[in-house]
Amino acid sequence: MSKTILDLEPKEVWANFHSLTQIPRPSKHEDKIQEFMVGFGQSLGLETIKDETGNVIIKKPATPGMENRMGVVLQGHLDMVPQKNSDKVHDFTTDPISTIIDGDWVRADNTTLGSDNGIGVASAMAVLASTDLVHGPVEALFTCDEETGMTGANELKPGLLSGDILLNLDSEDEGELYIGCAGGIDATGEFSPKFEAVPSGTVAFNITVKGLKGGHSGLDINLGRGNANIILNALLMTAANKYDLRLANINGGNLRNAIPREAFALVTIAAENELTFVKYVSEFNEIVREEYSKADEGVMVSCEKTDIPEKVIDQKTQKSLFEAVSTCPNGTIAMTADMPDVVETSSNLAIVRLKDEKIELAALTRSSVDAAKSLLASQICDIFKKSGAVANTSGEYPGWKPNVHSPILKAMKTVYSNKFGKVPEVKVIHAGLECGILAGAYPDMDMISFGPTIRHPHSPAEKVNIETVGLFWGYLVETLKEIPVK
């Protein structure tokens, strides 16, 4: 009989994760998972609260003899990033996730897996449902809409939680404890193009950039991976000058916090340039494949002749768009001075698309330095504005300032050393964790983040290491035993 994730250990965690995979839960479509979580808490006879934003809080009393321990909040987010390969038929609002055991890892079938943050949520559920674990007072906070704006964390009201310590279960490297994270802000632009008749004597092509790995726009931004929007724009910009290219449609990326893996354009060119254009695309493909041969070896750029479109974008807007994209900062901008291996500031040009007769651009900037984050976002907006777009910033969230003297950090370092015979690494992550926001409502709560090893979140290559799920669970269980007395 073939093995499924229900056969994996620890069974209580994997069983909960399997349940989560069966419930559609992309960001902004979380009614079903919220309803499921409320029912889960009520089925255990535990106090269960759903606030007006959609956060779910479940409270469990201490086990006998542990009533004098500090209260612990186990925190994770309910939503997942919906990403799939273009040839995969899957509706994230209705279809369950199909899981596959692939050697030492669990992955999905050409979609995101949802281990970010499903494993953390499943582990908190296992603590709530346990009858034999030892722990003090526990509250589980399951936030909503983390991936597209951290809405749940931003809207959480003071007074709903009474815990002293927050364990964020949303990190992605076993054996590492995170005590700080980057903040973020969105910079967006919008062009209002005019549409013109297709020039006579033209032929049309669909241009495709695909095969990129993509990934998390914070965790993977320093890996040198290709950005499909940047690659496509380089081709279009050059071809506009060489082959009288006119743009009819463009669609690259769809999530602000994912490095865009695919981008598409519908263009026309002068019929007399058809053969040289096809040759140019082929040569461009070889150049791109050579450039990304190590970081993104699967990249492919291609063109296919198609029907003539009804209209094209005016040349002024087309030129302005190409210039805006080509000058928009993208990738790693600065490294942390006192932690040379940690990205300080970055930007991800996540979206370039024609929608409802507007051309949308969206970049997510991140930094552990608030001033650098705001400055970079302003610079991107200025670039968009100078190109003729309407631009603004939105969705700003704070970073989480490290506290190396944190009592829970000291306690968890000791627990890890005693359990595994080595010292855990203490790090700051270049990604948005909810701790910084939650600290605004609960400034006296001591916080730390940890989790199992997850690779390539926010992309269809997402996978979670099976062994580390067991290590993470064992560490969580042991930590709850050793929470200090009030």
Domain ranges of the chain: 5-181+399-481, 185-397
- Based on the residue annotation, tell me whether 146 is a catalytic residue of this protein: yes
Write out the DSSP string of 288-307.
Answer: HHHHTTTT-TT-EEEEEEEP
Dig out the tokens for 46 from the structure.
């535990």
* CA-angle at 312, arms to 271 and 301, nearest 5°: 65
Pairing of strands 105-108, 463-465: antiparallel
What pLDDT shows up at residue 57? Answer: 98
| pLDDT digits (tens), the chain, 486 positions | 458 999 999 999 999 999 999 999 999 999 999 999 999 999 999 999 999 999 999 999 999 999 999 999 999 999 999 999 888 999 999 999 999 999 999 999 999 999 999 999 999 999 999 999 999 999 999 999 999 889 999 999 999 999 999 999 999 999 999 999 999 999 999 999 999 999 999 999 999 999 999 999 999 999 999 999 999 999 999 999 999 999 999 999 988 899 999 999 999 999 999 999 999 999 999 999 999 999 999 999 999 999 999 999 999 999 999 999 999 999 999 998 877 788 999 999 999 999 999 999 999 999 988 899 999 999 999 999 999 999 999 989 888 988 889 999 999 999 999 999 999 999 988 988 999 999 989 999 999 999 999 999 999 999 999 999 999 999 999 999 999 999
The phi and psi torsions of 256 (rounded to 5 degrees) equal -65, -30
Q: Can 5-181+399-481 and 185-397 be said to share one CATH topology? A: no
Q: How far apart are CA 114 and CA 457, in angstroms?
A: 8
Whole-number pLDDT of residue 402: 87
Distances (CA, A) of 185 to 96, 217, 404: 31, 13, 26
**Please, how many CA atoms are within 13 Å of residue 462, restricted to the half-sphere of its CB?**
30
- Selecting among 79, 186, 434, 462, the annotated active-site residue is 79
What mean pLDDT, rounded, does the chain reach? 96
Could you give the C-alpha distances from 329 to 209, 244, 261, 347, 367, in angstroms and in order?
Answer: 20, 27, 18, 6, 14
- For CA atoms 268, 272, 277, 279, give the dihedral sign: positive
Instruction: Please give the pLDDT value at position 366.
Output: 96
What pTM does this model have?
Answer: 0.81
- Is residue 120 packed enough to be buried (19+ CB in 10 Å), middle (13-18) or exposed (0-12)? buried
**For 185-397, which CATH class?**
alpha beta
Given a contact cutoff of 8 angstroms between Cβ atoms, the answer to whether 70 and 483 are in contact is yes
CATH of domain 5-181+399-481: 3.40.630.10
Active-site position among 139, 145, 146, 446? 146
Please answer whether residues 412 and 179 qualify as being in contact, where contact means their C-beta atoms are separated by less than 8 angstroms.
no
The pLDDT tens digits for 394-446 are: 989 888 988 889 999 999 999 999 999 999 999 988 988 999 999 989 999 99
Structure tokens at 182: 């980057």
Cα gap 204→437, rounded to integer Å: 49
pLDDT at 2: 58
Q: How far apart are CA 149 and CA 82, in angstroms?
A: 15
pLDDT tens digits, one per residue of 362-401: 999 999 888 999 999 999 999 999 999 999 999 898 889 8
Rounded to the nearest 5°, which phi and psi values hold at 192? -115, 85
User: Is 176 designated active site?
Assistant: no
The CA distance from 293 to 301, in Å, is 14
β-bridge mates for residue 429, sequence order:
181
- Cβ(204)–Cβ(278) below 8 Å: no
Q: How many residues does the chain have?
A: 486
User: SS3 for 435?
Assistant: helix
pLDDT of residue 1: 40
173's CB contacts (< 8 A; 6+ apart) are 427, 451, 453
pLDDT at site 422? 96
Dihedral in degrees, nearest 10, Cα atoms 204, 205, 206, 208: -150
